[in-house]
Amino acid sequence: MKNIFILFFFISFIGNAQDLGEIRTQYPKAVESTEVTEKLYGELAKINTSTKPVLHAYKGAILTLKAKFSKNKRDKKDFFKEGVSLLESAIELDSQNTEIRYIRLSVQENSPKFLGYHKNIEADKNFILKNYGTIPSKTLKTIVKDFVLNSNSFNETEKLGLN
């Protein structure tokens, strides 16, 4: 019985790791694509994100993208509010996670000014600059670097400092 539990845990862990890798690479593409956004939302709906702060953050970010692409004003508001709530709870669960800070910064940078979701841009930017070198995954490091290089929040000196 103990071996079955260990095998189930291992398979579940590998499955979630693959999901995270796919989500990481697809997230930047979702910003411009309703289809990618819906696909990621479907994937995240299958995963219990409440115990995995990074997945929780991605789910929140994807909900804000659903708001962006929605035609209905009420849906836009509801998706955005729920997305921000999930993103902020992910920060509370793991405030020292560079990936979660990158996700929140990407949402804040792309949120319309009138929504008022911009108060942590500077803090997240500084956190990313300080902790970029500690990102363990080469793929994630590339994704974050690509984001920084295309971001208006970072100046040229900061962008060059990531090399």
Q: What is the pLDDT of residue 48?
A: 84
Q: Give pLDDT tens digits for 69-84.
A: 999 999 999 999 999 9
Query: Torsion over CA of 100, 162, 33 and 78, rounded to 10 degrees?
Result: 30
CA-wise closest residue to 135 among 153, 58, 127, 122: 127
Residue 87 and residue 60 in contact, taking contact as beta carbons nearer than 8 Å: yes
Q: What is the pLDDT of residue 120?
A: 97
Amino acid at position 98, single letter: T
Q: What is the pLDDT of residue 117?
A: 95
Q: Give the pLDDT band (50/70/90) at residue 28.
A: very high
Angle between helices 98-110 and 53-69 (to 10 degrees): 10
Q: How far is Cα 116 from Cα 127, in angstroms, rounded to an integer?
A: 21
Q: What is the pLDDT of residue 132?
A: 97
- For the chain, how far is it from start to end, CA to CA, in angstroms? 49
Q: Give pLDDT tens digits for 32-89.
A: 999 999 999 999 988 887 789 999 999 999 999 999 999 999 999 999 999 999 999 9
Tokens of 113: 């000014």
